[in-house]
């Protein structure tokens, strides 16, 4: 769906696995989807070279959302890890991976989220990390809760974590969502189901990983992100913070 690439040398032909810009069941797209075909604008030097993204932009606890405050957040601790890979299965190193999510009660920390679920003063819901030489990343956080979102009658979003991946500049950005296995809300979520191919939808669902589970501390989940090719992770052209 998107022509924005993390790095030009990882380009592969896209498969029909990404959600369309207009998905009528997802009501927000009716208002924001373009009515005419997008116009390609070539990236010039300023778009390609800046702003720079790298280790200097990271704080020591950006990867651990449970230790960013004096006290711990409420909820089930989880470790989310995986690899960022190109279409040929090669690792993509030094890629900035960011996440944002609701708290354990299903509420985001921003002014637009006003449904009556408690805010957690010890949880901001945002993190970032750079992939290592093998394309690996890891976050420590809490399991997000489901929340209502007024898209249709009695609409609730499945628990999910938003992922944003940057290459060398903001114009090289990809956005996706990670879901949890066995969620009963999958069938009535039009965002998840806007990815028409069931096999591609499965690539947005993390796997429980007992090897990453820490005894008496946190459950582990693995979520690999593939940028291009037949096994590509579905990406979206943009995302609202509360979707």
CA distances from 226 to 91, 94, 229 (A): 9, 15, 8
Give the active site residue among 107, 128, 162, 203.
162
**DSSP codes, 169-195:** STTSEEEEEEE-TT-TTGGG-HHHHTS
Q: For this structure, is 162 an active site residue?
A: yes
The sign of the dihedral angle between the CA atoms of 132, 240, 87, 4 is: negative
Q: For this structure, is 157 an active site residue?
A: yes
Q: For this structure, is 168 an active site residue?
A: no
Q: For this structure, is 44 an active site residue?
A: no
Q: For this structure, is 160 an active site residue?
A: yes
Give the active site residue among 63, 81, 160, 173.
160
Give the active site residue among 63, 83, 157, 228.
157
DSSP 49: H
- How would you classify the pairing of strands 96-100 and 160-166? antiparallel
Give the active site residue among 10, 26, 108, 137.
108
* Catalytic annotation, residues: 108, 147, 157, 160, 162
């Amino acid at each position: 769906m998107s022509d924005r690439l993390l790095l030009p040398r990882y380009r592969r032909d896209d498969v029909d696995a990404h959600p369309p810009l207009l998905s009528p069941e997802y009501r927000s797209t009716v208002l924001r989807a373009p009515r005419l075909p997008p116009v390609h604008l070539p990236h010039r030097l300023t778009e390609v070279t800046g702003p720079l993204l790298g280790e200097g932009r990271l704080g020591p606890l950006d990867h651990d959302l449970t230790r960013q405050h004096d006290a711990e957040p409420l909820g089930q601790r989880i470790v989310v890890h995986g690899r960022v890979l190109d279409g040929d299965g090669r690792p993509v190193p030094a890629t900035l991976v960011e996440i944002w999510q609701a708290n354990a009660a299903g509420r985001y920390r921003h002014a637009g989220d006003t449904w009556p679920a408690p805010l957690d003063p010890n949880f901001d819901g945002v993190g970032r990390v750079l992939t290592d030489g093998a394309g690996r990343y890891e976050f420590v956080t809490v399991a997000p809760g489901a929340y209502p979102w007024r898209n249709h009658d009695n609409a609730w979003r499945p628990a999910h974590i938003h992922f944003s991946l940057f290459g060398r500049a903001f114009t090289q950005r990809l956005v996706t969502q990670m879901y949890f296995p066995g969620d009963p809300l999958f069938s009535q979520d039009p965002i998840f189901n806007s990815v028409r191919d069931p096999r591609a939808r499965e690539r947005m669902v993390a796997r429980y990983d007992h090897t990453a589970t820490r005894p008496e501390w946190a459950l582990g989940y693995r979520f690999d992100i593939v940028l291009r090719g037949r096994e590509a992770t579905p990406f979206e052209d943009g995302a609202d913070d509360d979707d």
